[in-house]
Structure 1
């Protein structure tokens, strides 16, 4: 639509020539009063070239085939190959040398900043276009020139080289480049002098944008930039939010006026009802009734009660978790009323105050969280939102005989393979005894429950090892990838409890590492040199000449020498039963020493932080995982047959 300013007073047109003069001037290119504006309801031909459409189609296919790679890798590769068989050449290069081309540019699923759009406007969304954002596609020359011109006029104080550099980094996207340039303009030294006496806010009103036009009636429109795609982007970025805000404000005002008129009409008709909580008179439309005693409560009391439950101390006595609603809180009831207020009425009461559903959504989210906690189900939670899923072990499913054989032959330990060959030979020679033995094991596992628990524990370990540590949140508003051990965002490659962890966990890790190191290292009291013995006897001589015992860490005088150690002959080995001296070639249990030192340091750290010896709080599981990662969970195994059992269950379980 085009806007043409009209004269304020007098006759509009004196003749037919005056009526057509502005349009003739606009057609000839000499008109100065015609402002070309963008009409979102008018469909125009997209400014994509045929070559550009082909590149975008190939890019969409590559993103679908390799969803874990950033689209910028494919853009560079598509431009560097010939037009003939372009897609086939890139796929073949990625198949052979993927690591060389990607070089760490892995794509991880995050919350999208913009709505995914199809590459070709007007075409239905396909599976590939759902994974490819419009900011990642190839841009036409018309769009790039239009974006450059708009940014030049919007940021006149920034250099053109800076604007071009930001555009090249953001794939010439106006939306992404604009946010970066706003940050640069707020820190530019040339802007500090004009803004000494005014606020340094980077956000300007929409009407001050050089390509936004305001009608005399207050409506906003976008001036045409020469690119249909950029016009639509400016409209969605600047005009659409302003229009939506105006509509919300208008709706709120209309709601207030309608409520006031309804109140006046109800007073005239004497159709008001008394609230049994605040004893105020309200119309029927603002009245809530419980399902048990039919107690009348106004919407204002419902809103205050819900807000007190969410942000105060009244959650336990206010919320009915069985129905995800609010209990009746009428003080006039003779006996305690157990009937809740219907959930749809509570929702209507909360929405009617502010016109949004934020309070209702928070109420439902907290109620759902309490229900999950009371259910005592094994849950795996997302650290970034309220999403949770049941961490259940799938039922045991036996593989086929050929798959079991292939798994044992290729991936099982050598001991299990030897045992399988022995069992196969025994099965051939002694079929009936083997069948009777297996039947007895099966009956024993049914009758004797500890065997079933051992098999279930082995199945749980196999499932956890197959699942890994990566947890993907499936909430559409979160989509965060975290680690189940350290509960921090997942990065490739991922290291648990790295420097990106919280300050509390970083302090704990430093304490545990220091305790583990101090438990096994030895320090010379003369020169303060620290060392660890890798081999040899327990009589150590430092570089400074100090001689000490590696076991008891005491000094060995020259007159004592090897007499410090046990000299008795032990034909059967083991500890000496005649003296309590240190052993010359005995090695201490470093794994046990480290574990005891780490556990003691963890208990002291918890007491120092005020959490008690047992430890409470949301980071308790993360601390236990940190201890296991530092000491080693596998060192807790004392039974020799557990590895064999896990190998057998891994081979049989599907």
Structure 2
């Protein structure tokens, strides 16, 4: 008994000493990862602080630090440190999935991250770069709420809530659905609602299996117990799970509101039809209530929402006549109407996708009319004003006179060099020969010297030095990297003009394949030269063609 007590005391003492060492290292290196320091302490037996400090200084003062918590729903504006394991995994997942490896599969990243407890970003990056077959994904640089790691309390609460939401489904099936959806409550809720209970007889069986008669006099006690348990659950509920419950309730309220709006519109239409007060649309000539119509700015021509939507979609995605048009004209068949469709009304009638497309077209047209130096994303309309250098057109406008003068200055300098060479030789004849052989061609060729192209090349070099070679889009729904040399999206290890080189390679390979084919003169049949059967066919056709030409010449000679 005393020996066992001595052993436990020794273990606790070693843990206390380890904790004190980690606290000293955290004091020396602020925001350092305690798990990383614990891993370093386990390597040494003595002089832990000195050896670890020496190693950190040998690496240039770099050491893994604690990251901040990541909240997708709060636009990542969280200043609290990630201390728990799932929070640190989420911070590493956000860094890897959105910045370092934006084209790598999320499940693959989660599987690698879950293998490490410290230096997660560094170790995961090393492991990914060493893997020759890294799976890719389509959603470049996107990270959703359901992709994040979940805490153990979240998993337990999600399972408990789904059991309450779907009492007719077995708990094992709910666990399987949760595991399939990365323990996300909302996605599992939607999938279970699509699955249903399995039919009428399955519902009857589950009702008798799960339902039990309440005991007499236990209604008040059960209600009080339920209310107290709900209050206790809300008190200890995970913050992420609470947010998802609020999102689910808001979505259900929005769906109910949309259904109520449809019913109200139907009742309104019936009332208009009953009293014969419907108004005719000026485009499709259908009868609609006043609330379902849009009037032009003149107030004379009404149009239904469907006609306005089809008109805008055809003008934006079809013929394209409305792209960049800031004043949408009235679509009435009367040519005397000079009104337009109000912008505020269009924003209310059109869907979000169509309205965003219209706004993007206006933005692109207005930007193209300006002479600003802009850097634009290759995947969306996001752009930034480049103030590091003036636009090329402004430079050319201000230096047009200097360019013409520079050409003649270069010619005069070369002529002076020729004259100086002639004086050094002391021969007038040689000087005249040099003037005629070099000076006159220089005067003629100065008009052919494309100085503007040379300035453009120098301008591009300066731009690349100041801007860099990649542009990070800061749009919340995009976030892609654009190569500023080829203006293509950067996916993984980027190579400029890769598609163009592939097209050139395919063109050359096709030309080489066509070069080894021999076309028959008479039947124009393309066959491979080294195939014996086709060679015989080409040879026979060639002989027949020559014999026909021979007999034709003989016949024409007698005519």
* TM superposition score normalised by structure 1: 0.37
* TM superposition score normalised by structure 2: 0.42
The structure with the largest alpha-carbon Rg is 2
Higher normalized helix content (fraction of residues):
2
Compare relative contact order (CA 8 Å, sep 6+) and give the higher one, 1 or 2.
1
